[in-house]
Structure 1
Amino acid sequence: MNATTANKVFTPEFDKEKVAEENIRLVYKVVWKFRNMPFDYDDILSAGMFGFNNALNSYDPNENVKFSTFAYTCIKNEIYLFMNEQRWDKRKANISAISIDEKVDSDGKDELTIKNLLQNPESEYDWQDINEAVETVVRKLTVKQRTIFLKFLEDKRQLDIAKEIGRTKQTVSLVVRDTLEKIRVEYWRGM
């Protein structure tokens, strides 16, 4: 026996089928812990099975971790991922988008949009009231929100803002939409 073979760790061959048969009940055990969640049991079970399959395919027997421990974490993480995606889809469906091109008021011939309010000091609306509403809202924003909104007012795309500040496009969109809504409310409160 030479020095290189003496330092190798010999592990028994990893038989996926045998390990799967021995540990399949682990999926049901983990899924059972999520039984009171507002999701269909079969969907959670499907996510758990997907996590179990990922565990089988990515497990390294040379690591100093038992398969059941590794699989438990994979199953649980996949279920959490599924639930977060479902919540996000539900939240996305309930969100009504606010555009800066949304009509705020109409006098018959011209339609006033939030963008026009923010950009057109010559409008027949009191620019000072609009400016005060914007300043009031922007002062109350967090540093992150203020940074996002000011970059948005510079006509930067939301995706570009997200990349620049290291956030997701959804975060940028949410901040911009909420800020515009706050400005609209503040403007009409002052009228």
Structure 2
Amino acid sequence: MKSFPPPLSAEEERYYMQKYTEGDLEAKHILIERNLRLVAHVIKKYQHLEDDTEDLISIGTIGLIKAVTTFNAGKNTRLATYACRCIENEILMMLRGKRKTNRETSLYEPIGTDREGNEIQLYDIIEAEETDACTRIAEKNDIRLLYSKVESELTARERMVLKMRYGLYNEEEYTQREIAKQLGISRSYVSRIEKGAIEKLRPFF
């Protein structure tokens, strides 16, 4: 794997994102170039497939470009965490597309070998339990942001309904009917509160 330029610091990232939003295309190129190591990191988990590494890099780079062009600094934390998801999503879309072109492919049909020569089946990829480091970081940031917005954007009743409905803060999950019974309101009212709360949070994700 070739070497890549060092990643941007948080301050540099903010600077170049601001320049890019002002129409500076050179800033866009810098944001892409200085985050190319993310592409190399994400594709490591897919290199045992028969797909050429250069093809994976190309697909991953498309995801990186999409990340740079759609990143909203006001709604997201760091570009890197957002970009990792975009890169992986692009690769997964490519893999799904390949599966769709051959509907007769079995989940247990060999699709390549790993570095030690062991046979890899499609089932192994779908059922892989290992979570990419970038994905774990992104999930933690999403959870942190979710809890922050639940506390700052919702009313006390909306917070209570979402906490009970989805088991936030590691609490037990309840059905709408169970919540309605505990709060002394109708199930349809619980549903309206839940939908309203989700709509309030949607712009932040």
Q: Normalising by the residue count of structure 2, what TM-score does the alignment of the two structures yield?
A: 0.37
Larger gyration radius, structure 1 or structure 2: 1
Structure 1 length as normaliser, TM-score? 0.39
